[in-house]
Every structure is written in structure tokens, then in C-alpha cells.
Amino acid sequence: MNDLKSLKIIIASIFAIGLYSCGEENEIKNISEEKKIDTLQEKTAFQTSSPWKPEIDIRADVAIVYGVNGNPSDGEQEITFEDRVESWRERGYNTHFMTGIAWGSYQDYFLGEWDGKNHLGEGQVQKNGDTIWHGHNVPYIVPTESFIEYIKEEVIERVIDAGISSIYLEEPEFWSRSGYSSAFKEAWKEYYEEEWKPQHESAENTWLANKLKYHLYYNALDKVSSYAKEYGKEKGMDVKVYVPTHSLVNYSSWHIVSPEASLASLPGIDGYIAQVWTGTSREPTYFNGEEKERTFENAFLEYGSMVSMTAPTKRKMFFLTDPIEDRKKSWDDYKKNYQATFAAKLLYPMVANYEVMPWPERIYTRPYSVKGSDEKVLIPEDYATQMQVMINSLNKMPESKNQVNGSQGIGVLMGNSLMFQRFPTHDGFEDPKFSNFYGQTLPLLKRGIPVETVHMENLTYEATLKNIKVLVMSYSNMKPEAPEVHKKISEWVKSGGVLIYSGRDNDPYQEVREWWNTGDHNFEKPLNHLLEELEIEKSDEKNRYEVGNGVVRFIKQNPKEFVLEANSDAAYLKLVKNAYEKDASAGNLELKNNLHLKRGNYEIVAVMDESISNDNFELEGTYIDLFDPELPVLSKKTVQPGEQALLYNVENVENNSEPAVLVSASRVSEEEKEDGNYSFICKSPKNTTNSMRILLPEKPENIQLVNSEGNEVNQIESDWDETSSTQYLKFKNEPDGVKVNIFW
């Protein structure tokens, strides 16, 4: 190093240390500046019922503060809602609000403190008379008018008065097994203008009960969201309302009824959080005759159903993942399944807003078990680092018009009524593990076909079927919501679409009291109305019909038959292949065992087991492995069946002569770039370790790390990689920030 350059480095280092250690006044200035920057975007978020703590300062854009009275599982709050909000604002966060709409810490309502009446009797009640509880004195609620008024007055007004303009009404859930309370019976009489009928006595009663459950939460969300916007307007605020909800796939599988896609028709709803995580996606499914967890595949279908639900409506969508889950498992188990769900969500490049985690307080501050041991420990250092690399990549994750590799344009029709037929069982008709849905999707997805789902509720939007070449549908596990569904499908087929209808139409819900057999219609089954729209006179001897410029094919099997027994999906696959290649002229149907997407500088790979081969997927180039906390630079990445990968492609960096932090287990801000010098501040939770790779024009000659108090921070590890021109750094994180100064 020559003398002049040495002097410049020394002067710059002293100046940086002095500037970053000016005490409280300077710290407040830094916070204020960061707050100003963060308010420009709301790309990433997390939910918490805790006030700010250094151990959970994960540096997403938005802290969604949970519950005016906290989270029911936390017990009584020691700090007020307003103080919790302010604690996050003081640290530079945008603050939003979330609360349960079907349950919550509303003991003042349930126990009569609000209006002098005890409302525990409004809980959702099962056939045996037991209330379904979410916590102590917290039932899942039948959303009565008084409950709706309580939410407006005691929750919505207080939140908006605290200056919050984004409200999330979480999990509008009505359990299928409920429907026996006096509150529900009263709602039945008002809605149907007849006496309540117990759902266990007939399929029709079940259908009617679930339609009512659906309506009750649709109505509740309509009234609460409308009120929030009106009250906000009175305060001069533009209030946004979002619904965090499980996917239609999961609710149907778990026997829960929720409004789902119909909420898009409500003017008061601005978007959703797709609540997909290990806990939902690890639900066992049948494929090839075997019941087991298929977390990646299930997550891919769950996220896909959420995209299908909202894409044509242009509503905002956040994708959620969770580095742990509600069930107590080992850290190794959490990590494996987190990677699977994380990769699945990134394979939808049209979504780039994320809830990076729920409840960081339980992730960072609570112990969980170690595999093969009775020991419980806090989050392992390596997993915390890897997790932070992953969530910080979401702050930069771009939308992309790229598509996942494979044959595009195959969709499976789904609808909200999937939730109506799941419980209880009638006339011996069963759908084990929601297999009529998975029978249509898993045989395709497992062979590397990025199958889409199509919501029938969105068929009125032209974009819904615009890119679909082959549409698979069945009324074995759902029914059409209105005649318009068949009208739109018929129009699409006649204009060149290819439809595959699978089903025996022998379930007891075919003849429930509905639009196809009442009023102007007198059809024994909904399929018969579709056939009339398509102008098909169906016979048992024929399974292919040309309709206008399109084609309709039939397979007389319920889709569950394709997965409940081994080697039973061959006929279905052959039918899809012929429909895709011959009828739709869409090219060869590509069968493989992987999904791969390039998304900006990121590449996502998933290789599936139980597929057409056990081949590995290999990539060659210059990649940083984001699933490895050490962030190695690889010239070749091999992904094995049953595994996923998230990679940063260094060769894709546009301006590779300019210094930049490529990947990091911290949030980077306040970058300064000068000739021969690059500096920035990185923040991440206390008691965690930062791991980062920094692109530089040449090998650095000196690296200075200083904390907010002006003290030097020791580099745990520092290494230069010549092939990628990146500097690796590893050091202890600090929520108040570490200033990194690099000279070359």
C-alpha cells in the first residue's frame, strides 16, 4: 500500500468512527433517516404482539402490531397497544395492525364488560354441545351483529385513532364441524327464512349450513372493512384493509369454511396475506397410493391457489412463510420444511410482497428441540443466519415476467364450494385427504408440469382463462356457484379452449337444493347444465367432442381414483397429453422432475421425488448458495430429488464494476460509494451472526467494522473470492447497526 493511499484510508476510517459515535443525538438522526426511507415502501412485513426488542429487530419494512389487547396465547399485556405501536415507530418501522376476525383477545366482549351481556354463547358449537375454543375464554365466534359492532367500536376506532391506516382482519374461519349454537340457529332462520336443520342429517343440510357460514363472515368483513374506511375518511386517512387467510386448498383440507375468493368483490378489501407455511403444507396427501407429507408440492399448490384468487382482480398479495410452525418439532425439521415452502413461494414471480415471518418473538426467544435429543435450545446460530439471509433477499426480490420451466397453460378449476362438502360424511361418500383435488393436480406437478389453479369465482374476468390452454375440472368435490360459470366455460371452449371433465357425479351433493334444480332450471346434476351450454349430447360410448373451435374430453372417474391407488393415473396423464398436444396444439407436454425459475439475479430450483426419474438437477456458473449460512461461491450446484435451492447468480449482476452487497444476513442501508472506498450500515437482531458477500472491483486492502458506540467490531471471518470478485464477511449483528468501511 503506498503512503498516500494509506493516509486516505486512515483519515476516512477516523472520520467514519467519529461520525458513527456521536452519541444519542446522532443515533436519533440515523433512525429518523431510516424511517424516512422505509416509509417509501411496504414490500416486506412481519406480525408481532410484542413491543420492540433488540432480539427481534428483523428490519422488514412494516411491523404489523397484533391485537389491541395482544395475542390470546400471550396472556395479559403489560404494555398498552399504543405503546407497542410507538416502540416500533421509534425504531424506524412503518406500523400496521392485525387482529383475528373469528377470535381474539376480546374477553371484555365475551365476559360482558363491553355491554353488560355475556357473549360466550356466541361461540361456534359442535354436535356434542362443546364450544370450539382458540384460547381461555376465547371461542371461535359466530359473527353476530353485536360482535361486529364491538369490533368497529373497540378495535377499529382505537387503531385508526392511533394513526394506523393499514388493518389486517385475520382468519375469517368457521369450522365445518360446528353449526349447533343458538346464535347459528338464529342466523339460519333469518337467512333461509325457515327453521334450522342439523347438518349431520343430510348432505343438503350440510351444504346449506356451510353456505351460511360462508355468508356470515363475508357479511362481517364487508361491514367491518366498510366502517374502517368510513371512519378513516372522517380522520382524513386513506385506510386499507387486508385479509390474512389460509389458502382454499388448506381450508378445504382442514374442514374450515371461509369467504376466500368472494372477498375480491368487496370494495372494502384491498388485498390478502397468503397464510401458507409448514403447518399447512405438511398436511399429508395421497399420491401413487401412499399417504405422506409432501411439503413443497403442497405449498406450490397453496400459493398457486392464492395467486389464482387475486391475480385477475389486481388486489395486493403478501406471501407468508414461517421459519418454524405451531407444532413442536426439532430445529432440523423446521429448517427443511421452511426451505421447501420458501422455494415454492418464490416460484410465483408475479408476487413480490412478503410477510417474512409471523411472531419473531417465538422464533428468536423460545427454545425448541434438537433432533435426536430431549434438549431444547434457542435458535441455532447457523439457522438464524441462514434465515436472515433468506428474509433479507425478500427485501430485494423482484417481480419477473419469466416463467417456471415446463409446459405452461394447464389449469385445474377450483371454487369456494370445495369447503362445503368436506364434513361430515353422507351416504358413504368420502374424499380422503382432499384427494379429489390432489388427484387432478399432483399427477401433473410431480412430473414437472407447473399446473395452475383457476377460481371459478373469477371467470367473469377476461384474464382468468387468457393463458389457459387445457382446463381440468370435476364436480366430485365442488359445485358451480352460478349459471354464469358454465356460460363462461362454454364461451372459452367455443373460442378454442380444451376442457377435460373428470367425474362419476355420484356424490350426494349433486342433488342438493341449488340453482341448477330450482327456479327456471330443472337439472338433476350441475354437469347437465354445462352440457346444455356446450350443446353436447353426451353418450357413454364417446369421450371426445368438438365444440366450436375447442374440444371437450371426459374421463368417467373421480379424480381421487388417480392417487389413492398405486400406478392409477396413467389414463389421466394420457388424456392430458392428448388434450395438450393434439387438441390444443400447445407443443410437446414436457415431463421432468424439476421446476426452475430465473428471477432477476436469483434462481430457484426444486427437484421432486416420486417423479419420472431420480436425476439430479445441475447448474453451472458462478452462484452464491443462499441456503448455506456460509454463503459459498459455487461453480456448480447439484440439487437432489426432494431438495430445493435458492441461488444468487453473480454473473447476472449488471454493473459488476460497482461495489454492492449481494447477499446478507442483515438489512443494509446508508450506502456510500467513492473512489477506492465503499461503506454502509447493516442492522439485524441482537444475538445473531451476520454473513454477507460484497461485490468489489478489486481485493480490499483494509476493512473497518464499527458499532454505533464507535467501538471496533471483530470480524469472525473474512475471505476474498477471486472468481466472483466478492468479499465474505462474518461478524456479530447489532440492531443499532454496524458500520462497514471497505478500502481498496
Query: DSSP code of 297?
Result: H
- Hey, which residues does 140 pair with through a beta bridge? none
Separation CA 727–CA 426 (nearest Å): 64
Chain-centroid distance, C-alpha 535: 40
* 3-class DSSP string for 185-239: HHHHHHHHCCCCCCHHHCHHHHHHHHHHHHHHHHHHHHHHHHHHHHHHHHCCCCC
Name the nearest CA neighbour of 691 among 720, 721, 718, 709.
718
The DSSP code sequence of 100-161 is: ESSS-S-HHHHTTTTTS---GGGB-BBTTSPBPEEETTEEPB---HHHHHHIIIIIIHHHHH
* Beta strand ranges found along 537-685 (DSSP E): 544-547, 550-555, 594-599, 602-607, 617-625, 633-639, 643-649, 660-664, 667-674, 677-683
Q: Which three cell numbers stand for residue 389?
A: 439471509
Segment holding 45, helix H or strand E? strand 44-48
Q: What is the pLDDT of residues 461-491, one digit of tens each?
A: 999 999 999 999 999 999 999 999 999 999 9
The number of residues in the chain equals 744
Reduced to 3 states (helix: H, G, I; strand: E, B; else coil), residue 276 is coil
Residues 6+ apart with CB under 8 A from 120: 110, 111, 131, 137, 139
- CB distance 462 to 476 below 8 Å: no
* 3-class DSSP string for 349-392: CCCCEEEEEECHHHHHCCCEECCCCCCEECCCHHHHHHHHHHHH
In the chain, % helix, strand, coil (3-state, to 5) comes to 35, 25, 40
Q: Are strands 452-455 and 470-473 parallel, antiparallel or unpaired?
A: unpaired
Separation CA 394–CA 58 (nearest Å): 12
- Integer CA distances (angstroms), 629 to 382, 433, 592, 692, in order: 6, 36, 30, 9
Q: What's the predicted TM-score (pTM) here?
A: 0.95
Q: Which three cell numbers stand for residue 698?
A: 478489486
pLDDT of residue 9: 46
Separation CA 364–CA 53 (nearest Å): 11
pLDDT of residue 75: 64
The DSSP code sequence of 4-37 is: HHHHHHHHHHHHHHHHTTS-HHHHHHHHHHHHHH
CA atoms within 13 A on the CB side of 435: 24
Chain-centroid distance, C-alpha 390: 15
Separation CA 227–CA 628 (nearest Å): 47
Residue 179 identity (one-letter amino acid): G
Chain-centroid distance, C-alpha 30: 33
Name the nearest CA neighbour of 108 among 142, 78, 67.
67
Find cell 410477510 and name the residue. 355
Cis previous bond, 559, omega within 30: no
pLDDT of residue 738: 97
Distance in angstroms between the alpha carbons of the first and the last residue of the chain: 9
How large is the C-alpha radius of gyration of the chain?
A: 28
- Among left, alpha and beta (phi > 0; psi -120 to 50; other), residue 575 is alpha
pLDDT of residue 6: 47
- In which residue ranges of the chain is pLDDT below 50? 1-19, 21-39
Separation CA 249–CA 146 (nearest Å): 31
- Domains belonging to the chain, first-starting first, are 1-37+654-744 (2.60.40.1180), 285-397 (no CATH), 410-583 (3.40.50), 594-652 (no CATH)
Separation CA 128–CA 424 (nearest Å): 14
Q: How many helices (H) and strands (E) does the chain have?
A: 18, 35
- Integer CA distances (angstroms), 289 to 281, 503, 656, in order: 19, 19, 51
The Cα diameter of the chain in Å comes to 94
Residue 111 identity (one-letter amino acid): L
